[in-house]
Structure 1
Amino acid sequence: MLMGVIADDFTGASDIGVTLAKGLAGEGGMKTALYMGTPGNAALPDIEAGVIALKSRSLPATEAVAQSLAACEWLLAQGCCQIVFKYCSTFDSTPAGNIGPVAEALANRLGARGVVVCPAFPDMGRTLYQGHLFVGSSPLNESGMEHHPLTPMTDPDIRRVLAAQSENPPGFISWQQVQSGSASVRDALLAQAEEGRCLVVTDSITNADLVTLGAACNEARLITGGSAIAQGLPHNFIARGDAQGNVPQRVGVQGKGAILVGSCSRMTLRQIARHAAGHAVLQIDAEDLLLGKASRETLLDFIEQNQHRAPLITTSGDVSSVSVLQERYGREKVANAIEDFFATLAVALADAGVKRLVVGGGETSGAVVKGLQLGSVVIGAEISTGVPALLAMRNAQPMALALKSGNFGSEDFFNRAFQTLAP
């Protein structure tokens, strides 16, 4: 294995996995495996890039650091010479972490300084300019992320956000410096390292900027960022003759399907409304889950009876209704109830013969994957930007999955993904 990725959630892991697998247009990428948690066994010898999906984004920082370091040790044992720490392109975190503590711990383990910090994902409208993160034309704190139930983002200046989470103040490389080319960026990173800067926030507005950063990090031991930071990294290994250049294949499985959605992001709510206009949607009141009122039999019957209508079950609601529940029951209790619901429901559906699952929301995806006890998956072709089809084996039977981050995908994503996962 040449490159290892530590992702702080499951949707992000599949996102960066497909980015590595497809590489640059016309060149191809790396043969990539996606592991659901740190494996207990060695990787297959032909795997060039390994992505470990953790569910560490919302854990206490000490736990997130411990899990990330354990993942790093496994990747190093597989021969990885470069590690990528992947987090959300909206820098989902709190003043306590977990991005800063994990990034610094990995840097210390690897002896790295002048480490790139770049959450930019231009294809999804996430750009970084003068250290400020934008979502489309809006600064991060006016994009809806300020209302996130677990990691509300109220400051668009990633330098300030990171400084609050880190032991040492971060460095900074401006977009103008990035425009000077990869050699100039490499020199700037070395200069920041010599000044004692461990982490360096790095502007990026376009995919070309990210490819420039990838070239500048040709020999870097550690890189951190959103999934798009990986765009140019396979080229470094292919150019050296270490990787061959592969193309991910289409994934499709015969059988029943279901769509499970727990995200409350603005885009997800629009996608659910679009889906409800022509397909089957069952809305579950999150408070019913807390009170034990949800009937599993009713849910299974709904999926069974609406196979021709791309059936979707959701607990998603507007921010105000979620806030009321959190105030009444506590944020953690509400989150755990929703995640437990989707985990047990996914298992019940799989046991009932469902072979195709589309899941909306990072925390929901993590709960579903853990519930199904999936060890590793094969990354297939992209369904939508940042969302690949995944092929898993459960009880010796194939399953096709799509794990979508809340804000990803077009408004018709759920039906399109449901159909794409079929043969």
Structure 2
Amino acid sequence: MTDSLPEGLLLAFYGDDFTGSTDAMEVTAMAGLRTVLFTAPPSEEDLARFADCRVIGIAGTARARSPEWMAAQLPPIFDRLAALGPRILQYKVCSTFDSAPHTGSIGKATELGAAAVPPGWIPSIVGAPQLGRFQAFGSLFATASGRQYRIDRHPTMARHPVTPMTEADLRLHLARQADVPIGGIDLAEQASGDLSARIADAQSAGQVTFLDVACAVSQRAAGAMVWETSGETVFCPSSSGLQYALVAHWRASGLLPSDPPPLPRHAPVDRLLVLSGSCSPVTAEQIATAEDAGFALLRMDVLKAADPARAGAEVARIQDEMSKAFADNRRGVLVYAARTVDDPAYAALQTWVRSAGMPMATAQAGIGAALGQIALRAVPRFALDRVVIAGGDTSGRVLETLPVLALEVAHPLAPGAPICQCHATDPDFDGLQVVLKGGQLGPPDVFCQAMVPKAPCD
């Protein structure tokens, strides 16, 4: 299948959150390239176990971290991945590019990642039409409820509780976070013909160059620009738009088959646990749909979960409620922190953190850790075969709690949210299937579909 592609590692990436990492893994895995996602930097033994993989990723939590944390943690990871000799080294970012100078700085990560590879241009692909993400003339647009919004007017991302997007032009947005040359190759330039001189200028300047992607044609063009100009390892701070663009170029060039063998559909499970820390309206609709379908909904007390002195008792309460729900033959149990940022629980949390003098990020980390403890106890207690986690930061906190070494895509579910199989030394978690769903992704019945494929929820 990959005889025409160069031997060895094609792409290595560090994902700034777990849901985005599985999103990126899904694209190349569905294209027929074996892809593994580690939950922590792998050892030599770990790498040897997955030596035949053409794409390797490490899922992380940088999206919720400070620049100081990044400066301490990311260079060894980038150096480790670069030493594997991939054609492309990626810092995988969210397709909404939400970030800020103080939290999840894509600019800081870009400066650190570029230092791990030979000097050259730094192409960035963010648009991914498959996910409802479009970039035109440097500005990012995202779909919500069937409509396209400029990202700084998006009903969710413009109001993100930690990193609201207040600028749609990604060049201006990144310039607030990094002191590097920044430019772009827009749709008009792509249509004008030979771009070799333009790319050469970007390479000599070490420029971060945003490549517009708004359709299938521009997606293939962006993939070609990155792949055909990457003689040495090139660093790309990009969303899974990079993976989509590369696969589109490889297929158009005959390097990959257009129709690889499809992954099998998943089997139904008798019990499903869903854990949600997302405040997205998309997830809120999915929660409501699951409730209508008969899922037992358990609201977490976020004030207790965020308080280290009370979190243990709240986890125990949720476990008891979950046990009752399963005993009542409720096949699906959904534990959630809040529905949207307009949920009274979110307002109460804001008031509490102010009175406690606690940063909101610390409180959110505590909630994620509590959800992780729920999963850690529930999987063996209820013999769960599949767990769904909603929310990018939440997914990272939960997976960090579980004894899981690596993930591979096992089944398709929804674009950007596949069903993954866990590799672990603990027999309770080895083979466990997990879905890490970003807040903006998935159809209304995605939780129902995760339990029973193609099952209607009404």
Give the Å deviation of 1:180: 4.1
Find the counterpart in structure 2 of residue 215 from structure 1.
224
CA 1:134/1:371 → structure 2, altered by over 3 Å: closer, same or farther?
A: same
- Confirm whether residue 344 of structure 1 aligns to residue 373 of structure 2: yes
Give the aligned CA root-mean-square deviation in angstroms.
2.7
Q: Paired residue for 2:208, among 196, 199, 211?
A: 199
Letter in 2 for 1:11: T
How is 1:320-339 mapped onto 2 (pairs within 5 angstroms)? 320=342, 321=344, 322-329=346-353, 330=358, 331-339=360-368
Q: Give the 3-state SS of the residue equivalent to 1:224 in structure 2.
A: strand
**Equivalent pairs, count:** 414
Query: Does 1:311 pair with 2:311?
Result: no
Instruction: Provide closer, same or farther for how the CA distance between residues 303 and 198 of structure 1 changes in structure 2, counting only shifts above 3 A.
Output: farther
Change in 2 beyond 3 A, CA 1:243/1:376 = farther
Question: What does 1:18-417 align with in structure 2 at a 5 Å threshold?
Answer: 18-23=26-31, 29-41=32-44, 42-43=47-48, 44-96=50-102, 97-136=104-143, 137-143=148-154, 144-180=156-192, 184=195, 186-194=196-204, 196-218=205-227, 219-220=229-230, 221-234=234-247, 247=261, 249-250=263-264, 252=267, 256-280=271-295, 281-290=297-306, 292=310, 294=314, 295-302=317-324, 304-305=326-327, 308-320=330-342, 321=344, 322-329=346-353, 330=358, 331-352=360-381, 353-394=383-424, 395-396=426-427, 397-417=430-450
Tell me the secondary structure at the aligned position of residue 13 of structure 2: strand
Query: How far 1:198 moved relative to its partner?
Result: 2.4
Equivalent-residue separation in structure 1 for 2:136 and 2:256 (angstroms): 34
Gap regions ≥5 residues in structure 1: 24-28
Task: Please give the TM-score of this superposition, normalised by the length of structure 2.
Answer: 0.83
Deviation per CA, 1:331-373, whole angstroms, max 9, x where unpaired?
Answer: 0232022111111001011121212101111111111111112
CA displacement at 1:230 relative to structure 2: 0.8
CA 1:244–1:124 in structure 2 vs 1: closer, same or farther (change >3 Å)? closer
CA distance in 1, matches of 2:407, 2:328: 27
- Larger displacement relative to structure 2 (154-163 or 202-211): 202-211
Over the matched positions of the two proteins, sequence identity in percent amounts to: 24
The answer to whether the 8 Å contact 1:257/1:307 transfers is no
Indicate how the Cα distance of structure 1 residues 107 and 297 shifts in structure 2: closer, same or farther if over 3 A, else same.
closer
In structure 2, the gaps of 5 or more residues are 1-8
Helix, strand or coil at the partner of 1:402:
strand
CA distance in 2 between partners of 1:207 and 1:130 (Å): 16
Instruction: Provide the C-alpha distance between the structure 1 equivalents of 2:256 and 2:186, rounded to a whole number of angstroms.
Output: 32
Would you say the 8 A contact 2:136–2:213 is kept in 1?
Answer: yes
The residue identity in structure 2 corresponding to 1:116 is P
Amino acid at match of 1:110: V
Q: Does structure 2 conserve the Cα–Cα contact (< 8 Å) formed by 1:107 and 1:198?
A: no
CA distance in structure 2 between the partners assigned to 1:421 and 1:375 by the alignment: 30
| Range with greater deviation from structure 2 (79-88 or 234-243) | 234-243
Change (3 A) 1:110 1:348: same
SS at match of 2:101: coil
